Chain A
Amino acid sequence: MHESSLPNSQNIVRHELANGLMLLIRENHAVPTVEVEGTVAVGSVHEMMRDAGLAALTARMLRRGTKNYSFEQLNDILEGVGASIEVSAGRRGTSVHGTALSEDLSLLVTLLADVLQKPTFPADQFHIVQKQTLAQLQEQLNDTGAMASLTFRTLLYPFGHPNARNILGDPQTVHRLQPLDVAQFYALNFTPHGAHLVVVGDVDAREVIALVEDAFGGWRGGDTTQPDLPEVLPPREVRRRKVVMPDKTQSDIVLGWLGVHRLDPDWMMVNVANTLLGRFGMGGRLGDSVREKQGLAYYVYSSAEAGLDAGPWLTAAGVAPQAVNQAIHSILTEVKRLQDEPVSAEELTDSQSYISGVLPLQLETNRGVANVISNMEWYNLGLDYLLSYSDAVWQVTPVDVQRVAQKYLDSEVYVLATAGPVPPAGK
């Protein structure tokens, strides 16, 4: 891809509103659509442990009625033109996504502004959303993959740590929450300060600025603070838990460690090492061993989550109950190999080519571009981040890969959660 066509400081318009809201616009006239992605700097880390699930419930309630429009009116107007607005909470931020035909840009911006600035949190809608969340939590309890992931988090992070929590909360806390809790959480935390909006698509940047100034310029709010979270120490011995779910057919495994945050100098090396371990082709080395050679699993992969906080670097697989131990052993064998033996230049090159080469495909849709720009802003990577991205990928050496594998992974001390049935007797 030519450098000039990558989103960068020359073709992204960045405009700060007086209230602190940052607006980023990238025109793309290939398709008559527009995508808006916004982030407000409030998430589940801002809620008390006794209110677990409050940030997620608040995010869902934003869309449920505003001073100017009821939930049903919002639905009628948006869906009448085939558009959508969705809001969801993360750990440090709450995201809004808007999609519309570009002819409906003004409508989309107006409604987004209403949803973010003038929510009314009607009680009847609160009870519906609360019930939906409770049902979703019940569905997770019956889902081996969800149970393995959620259990893994509770083992990786200390008790009471915000990142140990299910972002949806738990049945007890969600049950106790009231409409007033949501209104207070909103009033305390939602502010344009530290927030950004990315607009990508068949739009005119000057028109977008005018629309956003008009719709968001009056938004007032205090400073945001991102809380410091308690320190997380890597495990000193194996932590494991098995969730027994008797009538299930197969078991899900999540095995991992604490990784890095997005601005850690090791991030790119971890990214490359992780690609090699469990992503490249059909699941990297893990895919080769667990799926292709041994036929143990339909899915196996690794993932290095990195946000404002260090996230888990984990491996995951779904296997027959009697194959759980063999799969765990194989995963740990691959981890040890990555630590003990330098990767060949050829294997490293493969993963580097993939990471740098797949970028244009990630930037093919407005949504993909909006996501990349939103990340650049959120993590303060700079608008020219993509121009040097490929170089950064290619600077990673076999020594780097081995070093981060040794630093963050451990084939003897790890966190392991499994969820599934008891294996048949005799196995």
Chain B
Amino acid sequence: MGLLQGVQRFRLDNGLTLLLKEVHSAPVISFWVWYRVGSRNEVPGITGISHWVEHMQFKGTKRFPAGTYDRLFSREGGVFNAMTWMDYTAFFETLPAERINLSLDVESDRMVNSVYDPEEVASERTVIISERSMYENQPTFLLGEEVQNLAIKAHPYHHEVIGWLSDLHTMTRDDLYNHYRRYYRPNNAVAVAVGDFRTAEMVDAVKKYFAGLPKRDLPAQSVVAEPAQRGERRVILPGTGQVAYVNLAFHAPAALSEDYFPMVVLDGILSGAKSVGGQSVMTGRSARIYRSLVNSGLAVGADSWFTATLDPFLFFLAATVAPDRTPEEAERTFWQEIDRVQNELVSSEELAKVLKQSKAQFIYSNESVTSQARWLGFSEVIASLDWFDTYLEQLAAVDAAAVQRVAQTYLQRKQCTVGYYLPEQTAKEVADA
């Protein structure tokens, strides 16, 4: 596919990894900095801290005080954002090519110079709590959180990236600042640029802005390994509304496991192939789950979901139950589909279809320079560039026996956590404000 074609990898003396790819189709450049820190690096008491630190990184340095970043980038016609996930925190700007040094300047500055003003921490605390509240208004978030908490007991993937509300109330400015100082350093970061530049010039520019930042030793990391699950776990969550939801979660392999690619194919067989990041322009309507749950009228929506992670996480099956049907019926049908994929080899036509879909999704998800840079950085942090480069080859190498084997290994009842969201009653009234 040539997705790595033209990608060059560099390493600065201070340990910063740099990935560059020239793309001259439009006069824009996307520049990203990825840090190897996320909710995976959190312990009880400071859950949600990585995400909050990401927010604080917009709250200013001496050179770029709070409230200046958005103005700086927007007035250049640029777009910017940041994201925190279980395994990473990433910042990016996509700008007109001739203005990209602004991005390099800001990102190198805030890698080490953010101030964490106590007043800004106080103001952002309520913003973050508001963000969590927004999620809590959604039944699917509430159910997903319950299932994840129950499925994962010990590993930090137990808690949502947003963190527990009580931790969001009690974390201090110093907690945040220490987390920042511990993980934001060049030797824990990956910078990626894709767009309209000359590689030699971009290397010089990155060196100019980043080479002076000191390398600092990383703290010893020990992440608790999740113990094997010995029996099925269940949760029934009552809540508002009239619609019921069902989730099934199974322990699943990490990105670098040899079982990862067979699981990706299994996911594609069940609900259609996605790109590396789990996105798709399709809806999986020709795949098994949609046929058996939605076409049959049991559910109004149904899906499977699996993503690449550093440590073993979860493989999800989810359904929105049809108004006249029950969660039990939806769950039973999921188990029938699991039995089928465990007991019958998938056909070569289904395998070929998943592969063709994967190729197409790969191309769609790499159309803009912003998304090209995103998936390069994502792959480097979660797995490796080689993993990304050989992604489609590895999918092509998966045979029916491998799909059957991982279905038998991972989709077991004793390794499953089942959650139902059950509506209590419609509680809605209209009054004058």
Contact = CB atoms under 8 A, between A and B. Distances in A.
A131 B297 contact: yes
A296 B58 CA distance: 17
A301 to B, nearest CB: 13
B356 A294 contact: no
B428 A357 contact: no
Contacts of B122: 295
A1 interface: yes
A292 B367 contact: no
Nearest to B58: A282
A106 interface: no
Nearest to B165: A249
Given A1-B27, A298-B128, A364-B26, A354 B323 contact: no
Interface in B132-186: 132-134, 136-139
A360 interface: yes
A249 B363 contact: no
B433 interface: yes
Interface residues of B, number: 82
Nearest to B297: A128
A250 B130 contact: yes
A9 B215 CA distance: 54
Contacts of B369: 364
Interface string B292-314: 00110100110000000000000
B360 A83 contact: yes
Contact of A244 (B75, B123, B431): B431
A280 to B, nearest CB: 5
**Count class of interface residues, chain A:** 35 or more
A143 B137 contact: yes
A67 interface: no
A138 B421 CA distance: 14
Interface in B287-346: 287, 291, 294-295, 297, 300-301, 320, 322-324
B433 A357 contact: no
Contacts of A80: 286, 353, 356-357
A222 interface: no
A264 interface: no
Nearest to A364: B368
B131 interface: yes
Given A80-B286, A354-B75, A295 B134 contact: no
Contacts of B79: 358, 361
Contacts of A144: 137
Contact of A295 (B127, B360, B423): B127
A295 B124 CA distance: 6
Contacts of A240: 432-433
Interface string A52-96: 000000000000000000011001101111111000000000000
Given A357-B76, A360-B77, A361-B28, A298 B127 contact: yes
B240 A358 contact: no
A353 B239 CA distance: 46
Nearest to A127: B297
A287 B69 CA distance: 13
A111 to B, nearest CB: 13
A293 B123 contact: yes
Interface string B204-239: 000000000000000000000000000000000001
Given A33-B364, A243-B428, A359 B77 contact: yes
Contacts of B366: 31
Interface centre among B58, B322, B369 (most CB of A within 10 A): B322
Contact of A280 (B74, B96, B359, B431): B74
B433 A142 contact: no
A161 B78 CA distance: 39
B323 A135 contact: yes
B315 to A, nearest CB: 21
Given A320-B133, A360-B26, A75 B285 contact: yes
A160 interface: no
Given A33-B363, A72-B295, A142-B241, A248 B78 contact: no
Nearest to B352: A80
A138 B286 contact: no
B75 A245 contact: no
Interface in A281-316: 281-282, 287-288, 291-299
A6 to B, nearest CB: 11
Nearest to B353: A80
Given A128-B297, A135-B300, A349 B367 contact: no
A354 B78 CA distance: 7
A291 B242 contact: no
B62 interface: no
Contacts of B427: 245-247
Contacts of A48: none
Contacts of B283: 84
B28 to A, nearest CB: 6
Contact of B70 (A250, A282, A363, A418): A282
Contacts of B108: none
A201 to B, nearest CB: 10
B126 interface: yes
Contacts of A357: 75-78, 96
A79 B274 CA distance: 12
Given A80-B286, A82-B356, A143-B137, 18 more contacts: A31-B366, A72-B291, A79-B353, A82-B281, A101-B360, A131-B322, A135-B320, A135-B323, A138-B241, A141-B426, A242-B432, A295-B126, A297-B130, A298-B134, A360-B26, A360-B27, A360-B96, A365-B368
Sorted from nearest, which 3 A-B pairs have the closest CB atoms? Answer: A357-B77, A82-B360, A281-B70
26 contacts: A5-B26, A33-B363, A33-B364, A76-B286, A79-B286, A79-B287, A83-B360, A84-B281, A100-B360, A142-B240, A142-B241, A142-B242, A240-B433, A243-B430, A246-B427, A249-B132, A291-B127, A298-B128, A298-B130, A318-B133, A350-B71, A357-B78, A359-B77, A360-B77, A364-B367, A418-B433
